[in-house]
């Protein structure tokens, strides 16, 4: 994952330098690196969908060893994208997405190895600053950065015959079991993409900043002794703008 991010960062840098060289680095109108002219069109709506490669990073309670290691899982995302122009080279990008951030954790406690699967589904709203550069009349580069806000609405924790709800407490006749994850998540998203005519293809990375571990669950569950769980997710997306 770190190699993927490094390659993405290098690609972004190369594209930005190329764009600056073409435009002469001027903050002005015309085909410059940053144009303050009025955008060519108003608010644009589009559809997006793609593949997630997600994971959960964990931190043990102070003084305890973390026996869990995170493994990536495959999920998906789909939703509506909204581009709001400020000037020709700067937009606000938002939208509404359903995103499944499937992940696995392996427990190596006492030399016994167990795999736990999480498949949380979130409703997610990004709020990104989106830089735009016209590479030609019908090809546009975009670079996006900003926060996202997500709320967990569905998902299961799976281990062996166990198949429990992630974001809700469960009950039986004798005991109430606390939820595995708290539903609210917030993080930082960075990405880049190319629009050719009205067709879009891009990549992005999200890093969760909010601790979504439910304190009661992880203070005793299978000797996990965790104080935090955070999300991370790499996505490849395609779409169409109307």
14 domain residue, yes or no: no
Task: Supply the pTM of this predicted model.
Answer: 0.82
88 domain residue, yes or no: yes
Cβ–Cβ under 8 Å, residues 121 and 156: no
pLDDT tens across 185-242, in order?
A: 999 999 999 999 999 999 999 999 999 988 776 654 455 677 889 999 999 999 999 9
199 domain residue, yes or no: yes
pLDDT tens across 48-79, in order?
A: 999 999 999 988 777 677 777 888 999 999 99
2 domain residue, yes or no: no
Sequence-ordered list of residues with C-beta below 8 angstroms from that of 59, at least 6 positions apart, any chain: 66, 226, 227, 228, 229
Coarse DSSP helix, strand, coil percentages of the chain, rounded to the nearest 5 percent:
15, 60, 30
The total number of structural domains in the chain stands at 1
Whole-angstrom Cα distance, residue 68 to residue 163?
Answer: 19
């Amino acid at each position: 994952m770190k190699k993927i991010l490094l390659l993405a960062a290098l690609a972004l840098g190369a594209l930005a330098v190329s764009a600056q060289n073409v435009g002469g680095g001027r903050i002005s109108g015309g085909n410059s690196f940053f144009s303050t002219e009025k955008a060519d069109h108003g608010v644009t709506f589009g559809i997006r969908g793609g593949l997630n490669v997600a994971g959960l990073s964990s931190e043990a309670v102070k003084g305890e060893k973390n026996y869990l290691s995170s493994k990536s899982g495959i999920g998906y995302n789909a939703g509506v994208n909204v581009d709001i122009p400020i000037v020709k080279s700067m937009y606000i990008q938002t939208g509404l997405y359903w995103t499944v951030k499937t992940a696995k954790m392996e427990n190596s406690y006492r030399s016994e190895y167990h795999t736990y699967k999480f498949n949380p589904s979130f409703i997610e709203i990004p709020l990104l600053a989106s830089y735009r550069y016209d590479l030609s009349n019908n090809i546009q580069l975009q670079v996006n950065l900003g926060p996202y806000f997500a709320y967990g609405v569905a998902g299961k924790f799976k281990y062996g015959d166990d198949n429990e709800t992630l974001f809700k407490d469960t009950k039986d006749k004798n005991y109430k079991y606390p939820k595995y994850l708290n539903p609210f998540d917030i993080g930082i998203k960075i990405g880049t993409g190319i629009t050719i005519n009205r067709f879009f293809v891009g990549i992005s990375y999200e890093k969760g900043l909010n601790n979504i571990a439910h304190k009661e669950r992880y203070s005793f569950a299978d000797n996990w002794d965790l104080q935090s769980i955070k999300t991370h997710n790499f996505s490849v997306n395609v779409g169409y703008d109307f």
